[in-house]
Amino acid sequence: MNNKYTTIIGLEVHIEPNTNSKMFCSCPQDHFGKQANTQTCPICLGLPGALPFANSQAIEKTIKLGLALGSKISKKSIFYRKHYFYSDLPKSFQTSQKDNPFCVGGELLSKKIDHIHLEEDAGKLIHQVVDGKKVSLIDFNRSGCALIELVTKPVFNEIDEVLSFLRELQLIARYLNISNADMEKGTMRLEANISLSKDGQLPNYKVELKNINSFRFLEKALKAEIKRQSEALDKGLKLEQETRGYDETTQTTFSQRTKSGSDDYRYFPEADLPPIETSDEDIKRIQGSIPELPNEKRIRFKTQYNISKDFIEILVSDPSRASYFEEAAKFDNNYKLIANLMVNKKMDSEFREPAGLIKKIKEIETTEFATPNDVETAVSSVILENPDIVTSYKNGKGQVIGFLIGQAQKKLQGKANPKELNDILLKFLNK
């Protein structure tokens, strides 16, 4: 890729929270794999006279995410009607937010967040052939489901930064238990806005990449789009505001919709929903329910257990494995061995309880390591064979200890438990 241009990327991330019911009615929120159109009611179908009511669980989860990311929480939040022709939303408007979203600002991995708002999802179009005819069917199970939308500032310059941000956000959503944020199940969905700049300033167009269904797909789509835009700029062409999709077979992006100006959504406040007020007590209570977040855990694991960065990353990426590790670490201080057996040998899936893993570790230690007796014999003969080295240790040359450990390990064919060998050697030297 050339570096004549600065890449500028902003993200819109949709997260379906794991609430019991939809955003404005009591139909189930979980629609994955359910028979089409079995989870609807007059409210989510937008039938005349139906009155929506806001789901407080979804609001709390949105605020929880905002607090975890350092957003400012709006004391008064308003829902708006966003008008547009949505073929998959029967009301012909979407209940969303505009001014006063629940969370304003915030930051993740030093990348600024614009805001986080709450809205309702649309239904799903299914394109099929029925009786030899191409038809579009519609499933309204997802229509009206709660959807948290996080919008970043246009602050990304590298694809890697985008991917790290999204992976961390996904992990935080899981730690907070607001969503599984699973791209395959559609509980996390992405859109990226991308433009190239000649002078580092934000240009007057952006291309919106839509329908991104995996991180790998996003990476490829961004690469293809950067290539397309820089080639166009090289030729002196003017780029325009549009929505594009990515075709994996040709590895190129294709135009889906050109936007001449900004869409006129004719937003106006949803009169059927009162403004939502959030008190200081609410904020304090939600703040109190936020667990230790991944990055805090990484830092603590490093200082508390001193295990390698790779092990920490793998353990922290799964909250249940992280707590399994900590349970096991209460029984045995050979943290590296515990982490190694979990990460490289997957022994945590073999033993459902950490106690089982520890029992196994004790077995390994006694069968695979030399006995304390053998270690003592080896250490005492090394000390007898190296009187000069022992003297220099006693004169303050602490670094010679490495040599003595090496000699003792050699005698034991490397089978000494390092910590035990170290302890026994020190005991002999300090006699």
Does position 27 interact with Zn ion (CB under 5 A)? The reply is yes
| CA pair distance 56, 285, nearest whole angstrom | 14
Which residue matches tokens 């629940």?
A: 102
CB of 81 to Zn ion, least distance (A): 17
Three-state DSSP at 279 gives coil
Q: How many residues form the binding site for Zn ion (CB under 5 A)?
A: 5
**Minimum CB distance to Zn ion smaller for 140 or for 311:** 140
CB of 150 to Zn ion, least distance (A): 25
Does position 41 interact with Zn ion (CB under 5 A)? The reply is yes
CB of 82 to Zn ion, least distance (A): 19
- Which tokens is 115 given? 């805001």
Does position 23 interact with Zn ion (CB under 5 A)? The reply is no
CB of 60 to Zn ion, least distance (A): 20
Binding part of the chain for Zn ion, among 37-45, 215-223, 306-314, 413-421 by CB under 5 A, reads: 37-45
Does position 54 interact with Zn ion (CB under 5 A)? The reply is no
Binding part of the chain for Zn ion, among 21-29, 58-66, 126-134, 274-282 by CB under 5 A, reads: 21-29
| CA pair distance 365, 385, nearest whole angstrom | 28
Binding part of the chain for Zn ion, among 25-33, 279-287, 294-302, 362-370 by CB under 5 A, reads: 25-33
Site for Zn ion, residues 62 to 81, rule: CB under 5 A: none
- Which tokens is 98 given? 């505009």
- Which tokens is 107 given? 């930051």
Helices in 306-369 by DSSP H: which ranges?
309-316, 319-331, 335-343, 347-350, 354-368
CB of 186 to Zn ion, least distance (A): 18
Binding part of the chain for Zn ion, among 24-32, 204-212, 271-279, 420-428 by CB under 5 A, reads: 24-32
Four-point Cα dihedral 44, 45, 49, 51, nearest 10? 0
- Which tokens is 199 given? 């002078």
Residue-wise burial string across 181-194, b where 16 or more C-beta atoms lie within 10 A, e elsewhere: bebeeebbbbbbbb
**Minimum CB distance to Zn ion smaller for 143 or for 179:** 143
Work out whether strand 207-212 and strand 242-247 pair parallel, antiparallel, or are unpaired: parallel
| CA pair distance 172, 86, nearest whole angstrom | 31
CB of 46 to Zn ion, least distance (A): 10
Residue 136 — φ and ψ, nearest 5°?
A: -110, 120
Neighbouring CB atoms inside 10 A of 423's CB total 13
State the binding string over 326-355 for Zn ion (x if CB under 5 A, else -). Answer: ------------------------------
CB of 329 to Zn ion, least distance (A): 47
CB of 18 to Zn ion, least distance (A): 17
**Minimum CB distance to Zn ion smaller for 46 or for 356:** 46
Which of the 8 DSSP states describes residue 156? B
Question: HSE (CB half, 13 Å, CA atoms) of 84?
Answer: 15
- List the beta strands (DSSP E) in 97-177: 103-104, 107-108, 111-120, 124-130, 133-139, 146-152
Of 9, 13, 25, 122, the one binding Zn ion (CB under 5 A) is 25
**Minimum CB distance to Zn ion smaller for 43 or for 226:** 43
- Which tokens is 27 given? 């139909």
**Amino acid code (one letter) for 406:** G
State the binding string over 109-138 for Zn ion (x if CB under 5 A, else -). Answer: ------------------------------
CB of 43 to Zn ion, least distance (A): 5
Of 23, 44, 146, 194, the one binding Zn ion (CB under 5 A) is 44
Does position 148 interact with Zn ion (CB under 5 A)? The reply is no
CB of 140 to Zn ion, least distance (A): 9
177 burial level (CB within 10 Å; 0-12, 13-18, 19+): middle
**Minimum CB distance to Zn ion smaller for 30 or for 168:** 30
**Minimum CB distance to Zn ion smaller for 121 or for 225:** 121
Residues of this chain that bind Zn ion (CB under 5 A): 25, 27, 41, 43-44
